[in-house]
Every structure is written in C-alpha cells, then in structure tokens.
C-alpha cells in the first residue's frame, strides 16, 4: 500500500499564535485536512499527517519517508513561501503533488506572473508594480484602476475600495495596503465585465478543464471585487453558476493555455475577467488551489460539474502518480 504524507498549515494553530483572521485566511481548516485524508483513504492509500514546514523538517531529520506527499502547505513568509515544502521534498527525493518550487514562487507574485505570461501572448490587463508610495507618481495607466497586494491569496487586501477612480483614492488605498502588508502592490486596469474562475486537473498535454464558474455578487456583497469579505461570507454575498456559453469557452481556452504555459501540475485554478467589450483577460493563476470541500472554488466547480470531492482528490493523485511513474489510479 502506498503511504501518503500530508503537509499543510492548520489555520487554528496560527490563530492560537496570535494571527488575525485575515492573516490566517490562506491556511487550512481541520475540516479540509480531514476531508482530504478521508478521500485518500477511500481511494486506498495509507495516510500520515505531517503538518507545516517546521514539522516536515523535524520528520525528515528523524529519517521519516513517504511514498508520496500530498502538499497543500501555504507557508508564512516571503514570495517563495508556497515553494518551501516542495523544495525540501525535492532535496530528499520524495514525490509530491502539485506544482514545483519554480511555478509556485512565480505564481504567488502576480506581477512577475503577468510579465511572463504577457511575453507568451497571454492577454492580461495593463499593470504596474508599485514598490513604494513614491512610485505612484510614475503611474500612467488610465482610470479606473484596481489595486491589491502582489503576493496574497483568498482575497486578502481586496475590498470595495480596491477599485479607484482618481489619484486621491489611489494614494489612500496604496498607503493603507503598504502599511498592512509591507509588500509591493499590483495596480492594473479595472475590467468591468463578467468574472470567471476555471478549474483544471492534470499535467501537460493531459490537463483538462473541469468547468467554468461565473461569479455573481449579491446585493449584500462588497462591490467591484471577489474580495476577502465576500469569500468569507460567500453564502450571503456570492452566487456561483457553471457556464458554457461562448465567453465561457474563451475563458476555458485561455485558462488552459495559461496553466500549460506555466507548467502547472496535477490541478489548479485560473481567475479571469472580461472587459466592457467582452474580451477575456487573465487575472491570476493559483497552482495550489484551496481544497475545502464546501467553500473552496475548485471543489465548488467540481460539484457543479458532477465531480465529487473524492473523485477530485483521485484525479490529483492520478496525475501525480503518473508523473512519478507509479501505477495510475484511473
């Protein structure tokens, strides 16, 4: 029987350590860990929980090994925080799920990702990376603009105020975000059209779209964005719908091109939005997508597409097993 270790950052551990709810937003709940473990056992694996990068270091130091590691560890500090666990596993020649350190480091930095994708012909809104408040004077993008931290997920740092219509609003939002996150900011042209998120499973030429989900904000929601607050209160603030029209098809094609161009593996999620004329643009890609079975976008896309949670985990494991020349599941 194949033994699968699980690496993750448990939300409640960081909350006990004094992290705010937003600071710990990207970490996983016990519900998520239990659901993944249950799915892995149902598929036929032996499972061992490892924990975060510090726990992994200690286990490796004791000589522990696993046939495969199911990695969803987000990390805490730095642009390469999502790459820390995979880098360690590669150093010890231990197979693991999802993308490699290069992809995870690149994708976390939204600005660097957009630079690369633009060079590959992937359409993305015009943007500027602000490293300090003084650089705001260099901005020449047309308003309205959208501002967010360059390396956060789960909507962290995004509010209704993220859409700015004039320099005074821009300055206020940027100063607040620099103070709160102490990292560069991504300023990009605001797109007013439909918003999509696309689920993908597989690796390379075998990667395929699992569904295109359109995001609708309710009257109770923060305006203009799929923000941290809207994601946390998704039952009241957000409506999700699986869509298959022409624009959704364009979103699916662009998402798959992006995923394959970056070399993402096993599964991930791509966020896109259309402009006022209906052209779809890449916003960002998440090669380490959330896997809470109830409220993470990738499992929601799968549920709407008739794929249950255990089937999703099986797809991820099947892709990883094939990459490492294990016998495939599916």
Contact present, 62 and 20 (Cβ < 8 Å): no
The pLDDT of residue 2 is above 90: yes
Q: Give burial (CB, 10 Å; 0-12/13-18/19+) of 135.
A: middle
Q: What is the pLDDT of residues 298-320, one digit of tens each?
A: 999 999 999 999 999 999 999 99
The pLDDT of residue 109 is above 80: yes
Integer Cα distance of 256 and 298 in angstroms:
15
Domain annotation for the chain: domains and CATH numbers: 3-98 (3.40.50.20), 126-189 (3.30.1490.20), 195-323 (3.30.470.20)
Which residues, including other chains, have CB under 8 Å from residue 184's CB and lie 6 or more apart? 111, 129, 130, 131, 149, 150, 151
The pLDDT of residue 286 is above 60: yes
Burial 46-72 (b: 16+ CB within 10 A, else e): ebeebbbbebbeebbeeeeebbbbbbb
The pLDDT of residue 213 is above 70: yes
Q: What is the pLDDT of residues 42-81, one digit of tens each?
A: 999 999 999 999 999 999 999 999 999 999 999 999 999 9
pLDDT at 328: 58
**Any bridge partners for residue 97, and if so which?**
none
286, containing H or E segment: strand 280-286
Long-range contacts of residues 129-136, Cβ cutoff 8 Å, at least 24 apart: 129/184, 129/185, 129/186, 129/187, 130/174, 130/184, 130/185, 130/186, 130/187, 131/184, 132/178, 133/171, 133/174, 133/175, 133/178, 136/167, 136/170, 136/171, 136/174
Burial 75-100 (b: 16+ CB within 10 A, else e): bbeebbbbbbbbebbeeeebbbbbbb
Q: What is the pLDDT of residues 234-257, one digit of tens each?
A: 888 899 999 999 999 999 999 999
% pLDDT > 70, the chain: 99
Over the chain, what is the mean pLDDT?
95
At residue 297 the predicted structure's pLDDT band, cuts being 50, 70 and 90, is very high
Which tokens go with 217? 């904000």
Provide the 10 A C-beta neighbour count for residue 277: 7
Q: Give burial (CB, 10 Å; 0-12/13-18/19+) of 114.
A: buried
């Amino acid at each position: 029987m194949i033994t699968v270790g699980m690496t993750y950052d448990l939300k409640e551990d960081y909350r006990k350590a004094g992290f705010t709810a937003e600071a710990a937003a990207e970490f996983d709940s016990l519900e998520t860990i239990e659901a993944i473990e249950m799915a892995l056992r149902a598929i036929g694996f032996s499972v061992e929980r490892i924990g975060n990068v510090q726990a992994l270091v200690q286990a490796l130091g004791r000589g522990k090994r696993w046939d495969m590691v199911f990695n969803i560890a987000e990390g805490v500090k730095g642009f390469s925080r999502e790459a820390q666990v995979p880098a360690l596993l590669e150093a010890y020649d231990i197979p693991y799920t999802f993308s490699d350190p290069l992809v995870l480091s690149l994708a976390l930095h939204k600005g660097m990702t957009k630079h690369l994708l633009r060079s590959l012909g992937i359409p993305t809104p015009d943007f500027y990376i602000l490293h300090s408040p003084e650089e705001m004077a260099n901005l020449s993008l047309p308003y309205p603009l959208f501002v967010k931290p360059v390396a956060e997920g789960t909507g962290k740092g995004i509010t209704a105020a993220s859409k700015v219509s004039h320099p005074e609003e821009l300055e206020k939002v940027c100063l607040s975000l620099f103070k709160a996150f102490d990292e560069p900011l991504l300023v990009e042209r605001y797109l007013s059209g439909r918003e999509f998120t696309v689920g993908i499973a597989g690796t390379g030429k075998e990667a395929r779209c699992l569904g295109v989900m359109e995001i609708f904000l309710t009257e109770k929601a923060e305006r203009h964005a799929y923000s941290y607050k809207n994601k946390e209160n998704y039952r009241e603030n957000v409506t999700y719908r699986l869509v298959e029209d022409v624009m959704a098809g364009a979103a699916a094609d662009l998402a798959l091109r992006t995923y394959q161009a970056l070399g993402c593996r096993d599964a991930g999620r791509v966020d896109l939005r259309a402009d006022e004329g209906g052209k779809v643009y890449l916003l960002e890609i998440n090669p380490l997508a959330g896997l809470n079975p109830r409220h993470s976008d990738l499992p929601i896309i799968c549920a709407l597409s008739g794929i249950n949670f255990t089937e999703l985990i099986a797809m991820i494991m099947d892709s990883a097993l094939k990459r490492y020349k294990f016998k495939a599941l599916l």
